[in-house]
Amino acid sequence: MKRALMVAAPDKYRDEELAIPMQVLESKGIEVTLVSTRAGVIKGMLGATSQAGDIADSAGAVFDAVVVVGGAGAPAALWENKTLRQILRTHHSAGKVVAAICLAGAALAQAGILSGVEATVFKTEASMKVYKECGAIYREKPVVTCGNVITANGPAAAREFALAVAAAI
């Protein structure tokens, strides 16, 4: 069975950027493990809640894909998280799918994965600064696939993003 690790901020993740990819991946028979920077109930920007494990408990595990969820909580919780960076680097160098939607794209950039890579992100002053500093090649498209890296620019692209991740797995 194929497995995906989904990573969301403990507060203010974007509800549909978690729910839609999780539903699509599971409908394709992919087992999804949801983690955050702390275990327990995590809360979305629009009121959804989910139960997540601690990202540290997944640091040594191998997945077919790592999918990072965006939202207003992503910059503070995920962009500079050392455990997430290590997980992303390990999976990327092993040829596994690494994916991020919305503001979570900057977490991939901070991990060093987007240097010289075409990618999109929810465009803010902060996210564009990270992309520029980390050498990402920004593309103004809803979803961008470049090798085993898949990025999307926000909630409206969640289904297209999820289908691209499922196809890549």
Q: What is the DSSP track for 36-91?
A: ESSSEEEEETTS-EEEEEEGGGGTT---SEEEE--STTHHHHTTT-HHHHHHHHHH
How many other CB atoms are found less than 10 A from the CB of residue 145? 19
Which residue of the set 7, 32, 99, 102 is catalytic? 102
134 is catalytic: no
Residues annotated as catalytic are: 102
